[in-house]
Amino acid sequence: MASSTLFKLVPKTVWYSQLVRYGRFVGMDEDVNFIHLCTEKQLSWVYENTFKKYPVCEQRELLKIDIDPTGLDIRWEKSLRTGIAYPHLYGSIPIDNIISTSYYKFDKLCTW
């Protein structure tokens, strides 16, 4: 399961406000104490099942995160809904670990 690159989908407004306020991404899910991440292969499922709740006009930012070797507290934990293991980051995403950001455009062919 180990991968040196993971991803985070986030509304662009949330990403920029946290970058300005904290200088890093601290998360957007108030009901958990970790940041949901995913692998490249998991992106389409994550978008379809969790990210579609945001308005279509909301720009989506895809954070590409370098996690090797960082010492970040990443735990692979199974989803209660699917039984599939997803990476969860306990802590924040330092700006130095973000390889790139880009607009995420999802189409029906599951490409981006």
Domains and CATH numbers, the chain: 5-103 (3.20.170.20)
> Of the candidates 36, 96, 43, which has an alpha carbon nearest to the alpha carbon of residue 66?
96
CA distances from 68 to 50, 53, 55, 105, 106 (A): 26, 31, 33, 26, 27
103 token code pair = 């607009």
pTM > 0.85: yes or no: no
> Of the candidates 74, 78, 81, 80, which has an alpha carbon nearest to the alpha carbon of residue 97?
74
DSSP 71: -
* Count of helix runs (H) and strand runs (E) in the chain: 2, 8
9 token code pair = 């989908």
Per-residue pLDDT of the chain (112 residues; tens, 9 = 90+): 456 899 988 888 888 888 888 887 887 766 678 888 999 999 888 887 776 666 555 567 888 988 876 678 899 999 888 899 999 999 888 888 888 888 776 554 434 3
